[in-house]
Structure 1
Amino acid sequence: MILLSLLLAAGQITPVQPIVKGTGLPPAVATEEAGVMVPIDALFAALAARDGQAILAQVRADGGATVAEEKPDGTRSIRRMAWPAFAAMIKPGPERYAERLTDPAVDIDGDIAMVWSPYVFTIDGKVAHCGTDHFDMVREAGRWKIANITWSSRTTGCAVQ
């Protein structure tokens, strides 16, 4: 116990156990975790509505989006976009977009939180790509906002869940 106290004081270990990948449960409706999910759910609704301005209402202006893409031939790329560029990619159209998290894990410490989850993105009900979403969240004036999104993206090994 003394060693644990010394390591905690020295900042050499995390005082709270980290999230075990893939073990998160959907947050109960009236929990702080559910509050963290509100802007994420609103972002997905805005994506489905193809409304870039509604996306911007859920984010901190100084953040952005990063995608780590793996192409079917194995080549990889990483692309970073400020929120206005991300929102500008979302244009009206006839296709139906849907993104679904499958087993989100939510971790909160005061006014910061993270959400980590596998996801599947569909267009007109067909899988377009999948991967893992990581949302970096902050609470300002009692309201959660998305500071950053980072996601992996691949077109192989995806399954609708």
Structure 2
Amino acid sequence: MKKLISALFIIVFSITSYSQKTSEEENVKQTIETFFDGFHSRDSLIMKSVVNEEIVMQSIGRNPEGELKLHHEDFGKFLKSIISIPATTLFREELHSYEIKIDGDMANVWTPYTLYVNEVFQHCGVNNFQLFRKNEEWQIIYLVDTRRKEGCDQRKLE
């Protein structure tokens, strides 16, 4: 009887633990999706709603001479550049998958992507988001991406 009770306890605890992890992963994913909802609608308030005030943004890519560079971007300038895109310009960053890792109040999200402007391929790469949970809400504290034109899935927007 003790073995049966122990087995049931382990099963219930495992299910509860798994559902909590899945729920947190969904919360983290929703934070990233909210960021991109704001990005695609050119809405700085939506983007700011899921970003910490001390966010760090960087990109890794090649300059016109082919030299690999790490570019630091000011988040305020980034927001201004997004909201200034004309309404007639269609742009979409297509996320292909999410790999989410969580340890307590820290999360890491890896999202391969392809960027299109007016349905024309621009570049692809990977976004890497670092988040932390502040007052039970996930906030993006760091975003670094890679940018390349080779080895990309150049699908058209659907």
Shorter chain as denominator, the TM-score bin is 0.7 to 0.9
Gaps (5+ residues) in structure 2? 1-21
Partner residue, 2:36: 44
Q: Secondary structure at the match of 2:147?
A: strand
1:72 is displaced (CA, Å) by 6.9
Partner residue, 1:145: 139
TM-score when normalising by structure 2: 0.75
1:71 is displaced (CA, Å) by 4.7
TM-score when normalising by structure 1: 0.74
- % identical aligned pairs: 25
Partners in 2 of 1:71 and 1:159 — Cα distance?
22
Partner residue, 2:152: 158
Gaps (5+ residues) in structure 1? 1-29
Contact 1:56 1:83 in 2 (8 A): no
Q: Secondary structure at the match of 1:77?
A: strand
Q: Secondary structure at the match of 1:89?
A: helix
Q: Secondary structure at the match of 1:139?
A: strand
Does residue 33 in structure 1 map to residue 25 in structure 2?
A: yes
Deviation readout 1:115-141 (Å, 9 max, x if unpaired): 012111111222211111100011111
Partner residue, 1:132: 126
1:156 is displaced (CA, Å) by 2.6
Query: Residues 82-101 of structure 1: matches in 2 within 5 Å?
Result: 82-90=74-82, 91-93=84-86, 94-101=88-95
Partners in 2 of 1:112 and 1:82 — Cα distance?
23
Q: Secondary structure at the match of 1:88?
A: helix
Contact 1:136 1:149 in 2 (8 A): yes
C-alpha change, 1:31 and 1:157, in structure 2 (3 Å) is: same
| Greater relative contact order, per chain length (Cα 8 Å cut-off, separation 6+) | 1
Aligned length: 132
What is the one-letter code of the residue matched to 1:138?
F
Q: CA RMSD in A?
A: 1.8
What is the one-letter code of the residue matched to 2:123?
H
- Residue number among 44, 56, 63 corresponding to 1:64 in the alignment: 56
Does residue 108 in structure 1 map to residue 102 in structure 2?
A: yes
1:73 is displaced (CA, Å) by 5.4
Q: Which has more helix, going by share of residues?
A: 2
Partners in 2 of 1:72 and 1:120 — Cα distance?
20
Partner residue, 2:6: none
